[in-house]
Amino acid sequence: MKIADTYKKAKNNGLVLSNMTLMEHEQVVFCQDSETGLKAIIAIHNTTLGPALGGTRMWNYDNEYDALNDVLRLSRGMSLKAAISGLDLGGGKAVIIGDSNTQKTEVLMRKFGQYVESLGGKYITAEDVGMNTKDMEYVRMETKHVTGIPESMGGSGDPSPFTAFGVYMGMKASAKYKWGNDSLEGRTVVVQGVGHVGENLVRHLSEEKANIIINDIDDRRLDALSEDYAVRIVRGDSIFDLDMDIYAPCALGATVNPDTLNRLKCKIIAGAANNQLADEVRDSQTCSDKGIVYAPDFLINAGGLINVYSEIKGYDRESSMNQTREIYNTTLEILKKAELDSITTHVAALEIAEQRIKNRKSS
């Protein structure tokens, strides 16, 4: 299906492709291969600061429009994330449509790698939901434009511990701003999604003696974590009605929306998921009106990107950790800027990121 047809059909079906148009993106590529069953979309949002880097997500989307919507939003988020983190990277993202548990094969991943290669380095891929370092090894067999490859192959390995550390830094900075003290000891934190990032975040929170509640749709993950950490399990969407200090979305996007905001009693939202706000403008404003400190997702979940960027430059784990630790100071600055300028925290972060891209364009 041509992209224009997909877009038209999405509109006809009443699906709004978030609050952006396709025209914001430099290039969107549909990949289809009947032999391997590969169906993927690669979106390149902006390459002003450098090549578009962003992970590949494999998800069993209900339809192609949902996949397109997701990849467009995610790739834009990557441009903002790189810009606000001071990295010379553009924003891109890829989605593979399918069940990562049953449909992921070596040939499928290698075919996907060939599509990445065909873009000549304009897009660089990495891991995201539904992917692991082994999958990146297969992609690496077809293209060098991949990061987050195993340490044994000279790469930086799994970016998730860095992402989780950055989220933890952003969460502590938000606590400092809200309560004047960044200790999370005794604070009730609900972590929704305890996958790669969520588990690492739980480790940090547990070391700090936070009161941790975990939630996941995968019972195996809940069981595994409850064996290793002192956590309480709450299943389903009743988590939004719990008494909590901090809500940490670490699963998928759009969980901060009018329904959940009506129910949430937290004082801080700080998590790893991309595009947490269903509608950026509306939902960040509601957070602000309700006195909830929203730590912008693209700012605090940049640790993994910082780490894979280091892989391109010549990997240095220590310097990646130090740069990720800086998320604490940047978060505090942005929360203060939002208060000073009477704007939402999301808009404050957006302004800084967009300004950096504009400055580069005009230089």
The catalytic residue positions are: 93
- Give the end-to-end CA distance of the chain in Å, rounded to a whole number: 39
Instruction: Tell whether residue 163 is a contact of ligand NAD (CB under 6 A).
Output: yes
The SS3 of residue 273 is coil
The only residue of 16, 107, 217, 281 in contact with ligand NAD, by rule CB under 6 A: 217
Binding window for ligand NAD (CB under 6 A); candidates: 16-24, 190-198, 310-318, 340-348: 190-198
60 lines the binding site for ligand NAD (CB under 6 A): no
Give whichever of 92 and 198 is closer to ligand NAD, judged by the CB atom.
198
- Least distance (Å) from ligand NAD to the CB of residue 340? 28
Kindly indicate which of the ranges 11-19, 21-29, 186-194, 278-286 contains the residues binding ligand NAD, using the contact rule CB under 6 A: 186-194
Nearer to ligand NAD, 218 or 339 (CB): 218
Find the binder of ligand NAD among 251, 261, 300, 335 (CB under 6 A): 251
- Our CB check for ligand NAD shows the closer of 186 and 258 to be 258
**Beta pairing partners, 357:** none
Q: What angle do CA 265, 224, 232 make, to 5 degrees?
A: 30
Distance between CA 111 and CA 124 in Å, rounded? Answer: 15
- Cβ proximity to ligand NAD: between 113 and 161 the closer is 161
Q: Which stretch binds ligand NAD (CB under 6 A): 30-38, 213-221, 280-288, 332-340?
A: 213-221
Which element (helix H / strand E) includes 91? strand 90-97
Using CA atoms, how far apart are residues 135 and 294, in angstroms rounded to an integer? 33
Helix, coil or strand: residue 133: helix
Distance CA 271, CA 301 (A): 7
In the list 98, 113, 155, 198, the residue contacting ligand NAD (rule: CB under 6 A) is 198
| Strand, coil or helix: 218 | coil
Among 159, 190, 330, 334, binds ligand NAD (CB under 6 A): 159
Return the DSSP state at 312.
H
If 0-12 CB within 10 Å is exposed, 13-18 middle and 19+ buried, where does residue 27 land? middle
Binding site for ligand NAD (CB under 6 A): 128-130, 159-160, 163, 192-198, 215-218, 221, 250-252, 272-274, 301, 304
